[in-house]
Amino acid sequence: METTDQLRDRLLARFPGAEISVVTNPGPAAQHSLLLSPSPARDIAVFLRDDPALRLDYCSNVTGIDWPTLGCLEVVYHLYSMALKHGPVILRLRTTNRTDAVTLPSLTPVWRACEFQEREVFDLYGIVFTEHPDLRRILMWDEFKDHPMRKDYVEPDDYEWEPTPHGGVLEKAKRHYPAAPVAGVADPGPASASPATKP
C-alpha cells in the first residue's frame, strides 16, 4: 500500500480544493494520519472506499478526542480494507472550536460501522455529525446535559463515605467534612462505631 504522503498527494490531485495534511506520529508505531478539512471529507471517504487500489471498505474504529490546547475537538477514523487486507489509513477531522462550532460531516452513509461510534462521540464529546441517521445520546440518558469525556468535564459531587481518599478524591471529600475539624481521623458522634475511631 502507498505511504501516507503518496496518498495525500493522490488525494490532492483528485480533490484539488481540499485541505489535506499529514499528521506524523512521532512514536515507534509510526501510524501517520491524514488531517482533512470537514467539507470534502465525505467525498474523500467515498473515494477511499471505492478506489480500486485502496478499497478501504472497513471502518474499524471511530475515536473522539478533546484538545483543549488546540481549541478543537477531533474525530479519528481507522480504515482498513477487508478486500485487499491492508491498512490502516487514519483520517482526522477537527471542529473549529470546542463550544459552538462543533459540527462535522457524518461518515455513517459511507460506512455503517460509524453509526454507533459516532453517536458515542456525540454523547461523550458533543461533536454534532450532520446527516447522521439517528444522532441521539447512546450511553448516557437523554436528559443528561454534559459531555463527560471532555477534559474540562466536572463530575457531579455525589460524595459518600470515602475512607481511603487521596489526591483529587481527598479534595472532593474534604468539601463534605463537617465544619469543626478534628485532628487525626477520629470523629465524634454517630461515627463512633465506625472504623474511623479504631486506633
Among 16, 17, 52, 184, binds another protein (CB under 8 A): 184
> Does 144 interact with another protein (rule: CB under 8 A)?
yes
* CB-nearer residue toward another protein: 41 or 113: 113
Cα atoms found within 13 Å of the Cα of residue 131, Cβ hemisphere only: 12
Question: Which amino acid does the sequence have at 115?
Answer: E
> Does 52 interact with another protein (rule: CB under 8 A)?
no
> Does 152 interact with another protein (rule: CB under 8 A)?
no
- The secondary structure of the chain in percent helix, strand, coil, rounded to multiples of 5, reads 25, 20, 55
* CB-nearer residue toward another protein: 17 or 156: 156
> Does 5 interact with another protein (rule: CB under 8 A)?
no
- Of 87-106, binders to another protein (CB under 8 A) are 88, 90
* DSSP β-ladder status, 103-105 and 128-130: parallel
Which span (4-12, 37-45, 93-101, 144-152) binds another protein, by CB under 8 A? 144-152
> Does 31 interact with another protein (rule: CB under 8 A)?
yes
Angle at 57 between CA 103 and CA 76, to 5 degrees: 35
